[in-house]
Amino acid sequence: MGGATQELDLGPVTMSAMTAAWTFVYVLSRVLFPARSKDFCNRIVSLIHVFVSCYFCSKSVADWSRPLDGVGAASTYPQMLALTVSLAYFTYDTLCCLVELPFSLDVFMHHVLTILGLGFGYERQISGTELVACLMLMEVSNPFMHARELLKELNLKDSSMNLANDVCVSFQLASSTHATPH
């Protein structure tokens, strides 16, 4: 035993199991919130993915003083784990959007392109640094978008919570587009 860690095999079986796990979370949310829409429950899963994805992405950074070290290099195990978790999520979400929700071409194309990008890095086991950085940036903006839709369904559109969410969106947008470098 002596402190040795065993890494999870990140092959197709693990990918399928993770996709099934995301699907289970959706089914569980449908059971827990039967009066809510399918979109509401899917957004709950999406919010969970945001936090899980950001956790694994942040854990994959070896040196935060130089987070983009390794651009173009072979992917590390933590990067591959972050990609696997998110690729499984996007597979689930694509299937959910096709089967459970009204079809939307832009959402479908977003999912297909994301799966192709992540899938390329996953299959080739390269560019993990770039893909994890993009994934982190992409996911960090999602909670506010999902919160806005969840608050609408909870009839809190005109509430102080919705106003606070909008302020957070505005701040995030302003700081990401107009912030000065340190």
What confidence tier does 95 reach under pLDDT thresholds 50, 70, 90?
A: very high
Per-residue pLDDT tens over the stretch 60-74: 998 889 988 888 889
Tokens found for residue 144: 């506010």
What confidence tier does 86 reach under pLDDT thresholds 50, 70, 90?
A: very high
Residue 86 CB partners (closer than 8 Å, separation 6+)? 49, 53, 56, 118, 135, 139
Per-residue pLDDT tens over the stretch 148-178: 777 777 776 776 765 565 666 666 666 655 5
Which among 86, 62, 65 is positioned nearest to 75, based on CA atoms? 62
Which pLDDT does position 11 carry in this prediction? 87
Which pLDDT does position 1 carry in this prediction? 47
Q: Domain residues of the chain, as ranges?
A: 12-140, 142-182
More confident position, 174 or 33: 33
Considering the entire predicted model, what is its pTM? 0.83
Q: Is the pLDDT of residue 56 over 90?
A: yes
CB-CB neighbours of 8 under 10 Å: 12
φ, ψ of residue 62 to 5 degrees: the values are -75, -35
What's the rounded Cα separation, in Å, for the pair 34 and 114?
A: 30
Average pLDDT, integer, range 1-18: 76
Return the top range by mean pLDDT from 48-52, 104-108, 158-162: 48-52
3-state secondary structure 40-101: HHHHHHHHHHHHHHHHHHHHCCCCCCCCCCCCCCECCHHHHHHHHHHHHHHHHHHHHHHHCC
| 8 A C-beta contact, residue 60 and residue 78 | yes
Q: Is the pLDDT of residue 123 over 50?
A: yes
Average pLDDT, integer, range 112-121: 93
